[in-house]
Amino acid sequence: MTNRIIVFTSFFTIAAIALLAWFLIAQFRDNAFSAFASVQQAHLFNLLGEVDVDDRGRLSGRPRLGDARFDEEDSGWYWQATIIDSDERSVLRSTSLKEARIGRVPLSELPFDAAFQRAYVLPDANGILIRVVETEFEVGETAIRLQTTANFSQFQATIAAARRDIVAALSAFGIGLLVLNALLIRVGLRPLVAAREQLIEVQNGKKARLGGQYPAEIAPLAGEINSLIENNKRLVERARTQVGNLAHALKTPIAVLRNESDASEVPGPLVREQTEEMNNYVQNYLKRAQIAAQTGGAVFRSDALMVTEKLVRVMRKL
């Protein structure tokens, strides 16, 4: 029973910890992505306020988005402003982008949303996955496209590291919980194991009742078992006494019948036969009552091998 309880509780504990790990990882990923996307959105709004068109129809402005990563080359954090429907010679870009350009996903595959923005993931010139946030707006008659990117490979690496840390922490917690659970179950069920061992001793005739101290939850059960043993012993003693009394009560009338049949000149053979049979029954039950009284309890076990060897020796002599 102890092992079954440990297996069942361990199974549910492992399932609960796995579910908790999945929930924590999902929550961390969603929250981290929300913060990641919010930073990009803020960069796009800052870029929107820093870019303008001069009198010659060229882009102007010196956007400073407040993030040093836009100055680090090949960092995956880029921004770019482009005049649409032009030869694209008028382009403003971040220092990190150098002379490269930010790629685009065709509008036919991913159109703008209701806020006239769209976001997509693609690799840059160095193979780094970047998340691009793109929008378009007009200054006078000039349409401008703005793009800001963030290092999505770095974001994925952060999520993977957090996932490993969460799994490692919950695994260690789960192992400790399983060990503690097994110890508590074994310690908690130890009184039941002790009671079972004492019941076996009672069954084998080594003890007359359950002994020892039990917890408050088990003490009533032990008391009921002892009461049942005592009641059973009283019933057996009562039945034994009644059988003995009955045998003694029949012994005298049977002896009178035997003497009368022996003294009769013409005794009936059937009377003698039945009288002897009744006497044998009475003597048999009297001997049984005496043997049962010598055992001192309701349950008595004998050494079968020793008794059988004695019977074999007697039968060989006969």
Six-digit token string for 105: 């996903």
Helix, strand, or coil here: 204?
A: coil
pTM, rounded to two decimals? 0.61
Query: String of b and e for 228-259 (b: at least 16 CB within 10 Å)?
Result: ebeeeeeeeeeebeeebeebeebeeebeebbe
Percent of the chain at pLDDT exceeding 70: 86
What residue ranges in the chain does DSSP mark as E strands? 52-53, 59-60, 79-83, 91-93, 117-123, 129-139, 142-151
Nearest to 195 by CA among 208, 213, 175: 213
pLDDT in tens, 205-220: 667 677 666 666 667 7
Which residues, in sequence order, are CB contacts of 160 under 8 Å at separation 6+? none
For tokens 């490979």, the residue is 153
pLDDT in tens, 238-295: 777 777 777 777 777 777 777 767 666 555 676 667 777 777 777 777 777 666 655 5
pLDDT in tens, 113-152: 988 899 999 998 888 999 999 998 888 778 888 999 999 9
